[in-house]
């Protein structure tokens, strides 16, 4: 099995991919677009992409990519995220004048970063990539916010650990692929739809599920490309798409939605986690 992920070795996406399938061959990609391309027609059969963080919120780019590609969601995984401030050996906090990391990681560590005086905060494409840059360029006045594993991979030391704003920092990742990921029974479905711009349209859409006792676990709106101030609605429901109540709700929604697409029906992480021991131990 081959799984593509975004970032350098030591990235949290790499840890998520290993949590999904510890024995898989992993393919590092520079961008989320490359992950989708690799899973869709390239060397990887699957891709792992972050979709939301418990502190920083949604990763909007991946919602857009789900729509522009025909890869279904086949699984999900949740990963506890512990951030470290990493620097070259021998570098002290007083010498750090720049901190590099991915924008999401910087947002998750906002309170810690605000306490640093005279330090420039610089966004990069990847957490582990920031650690690699500091190691490769021997930057003695800079640090990176990344995982402990990234420090091990690139020979950096931790100046501070657990620098995220909240200890219960968790990122949810989606697994996308051309084939079903496991033979486990789906209990979660992700859909996207658009509605006519009229009073009560969203209430009517959500009531299709509420009236059938189906729990909505996520609701996200995104701008509809080329149509200012109109929106797509991404919804996760706690049911398989072929369960009778969910199938009827989707049919009901389809009667008045302008567009409706099922992005995937899969086993939720909590269900999967409760059925078998987690083979991957997260390094913090």
> Active site includes 209?
no
Q: Which of 32, 112, 127, 171 is catalytic?
A: 171
Q: Which value, in Å, is the radius of gyration of the alpha carbons in the chain?
A: 20
Q: Which of 225, 241, 242, 224 is nearest to 233 (CA)?
A: 224
Indicate the burial class of 50 (C-beta count within 10 angstroms; 0-12, 13-18, 19 or more).
Answer: buried
Dmax (CA) for the chain in angstroms is 65
- Judge residue 87's burial from the number of C-beta atoms within 10 Å of its C-beta, 0-12 exposed, 13-18 middle, 19 or more buried: buried
Beta-carbon contacts of 19 under 8 Å, excluding residues fewer than 6 positions away, are 77, 79, 278, 279, 280, 282
Instruction: State the Cα–Cα distance between residues 14 and 18, nearest whole angstrom.
Output: 6
Please give the helix or strand (H or E) that residue 3 lies within, else none.
Answer: strand 2-6
Task: Tell which phi-psi region holds residue 10, choosing left (phi > 0), alpha (psi between -120 and 50) or beta.
Answer: left
What is the distance in angstroms between the CA of the first residue and the CA of the last residue of the chain? 26
Q: Is 182 a catalytic residue?
A: no
Q: 12, 112, 173, 181: which is the annotated catalytic residue?
A: 173
Q: Are 85 and 159 in contact (CB under 8 A)?
A: yes
Asked if 265 contacts 188 with a C-beta cutoff of 8 angstroms, the reply is: yes
Q: Residue 172 forms beta bridges with which residues?
A: 52, 78
Catalytic positions are 171, 173
């Amino acid at each position: 099995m081959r799984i593509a992920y975004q970032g350098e070795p030591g990235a949290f996406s790499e840890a998520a991919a290993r949590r999904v399938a510890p024995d898989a061959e992993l393919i590092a990609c520079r961008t989320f677009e490359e992950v989708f391309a690799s899973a869709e027609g390239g060397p990887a059969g699957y891709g792992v992409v972050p979709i939301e963080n418990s502190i920083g919120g949604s990763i909007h780019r991946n919602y857009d990519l789900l729509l522009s590609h025909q890869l279904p969601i086949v699984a999900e995984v949740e990963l506890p995220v512990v951030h470290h401030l990493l620097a070259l050996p021998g570098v002290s906090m007083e010498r750090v004048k720049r901190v590099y990391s991915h924008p999401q990681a910087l947002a998750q560590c906002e309170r810690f970063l605000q306490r640093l005086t005279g330090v420039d905060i610089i966004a990069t494409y990847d957490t582990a990539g920031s650690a690699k840059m500091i190691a490769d360029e021997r930057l003695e006045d800079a640090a990176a916010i990344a995982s402990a594993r990234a420090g091990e991979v690139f020979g950096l030391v931790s100046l501070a650990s657990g620098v995220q704003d909240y200890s219960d920092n968790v990122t949810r990742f989606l697994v996308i692929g051309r084939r079903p990921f496991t033979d486990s029974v789906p209990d979660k479905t992700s859909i996207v739809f658009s509605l006519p711009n009229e009073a009560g349209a969203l209430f009517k859409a959500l009531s299709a599920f509420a009236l059938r006792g189906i729990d909505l676990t996520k609701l996200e709106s995104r701008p509809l490309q080329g149509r200012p101030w109109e929106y797509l609605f991404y919804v996760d429901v706690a049911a398989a798409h072929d369960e009778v109540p969910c199938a009827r709700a989707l049919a009901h929604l389809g009667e008045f939605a302008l567009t409706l697409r099922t992005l995937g029906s899969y086993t939720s992480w909590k269900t999967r986690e409760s059925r078998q021991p987690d083979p991957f131990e997260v390094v913090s």
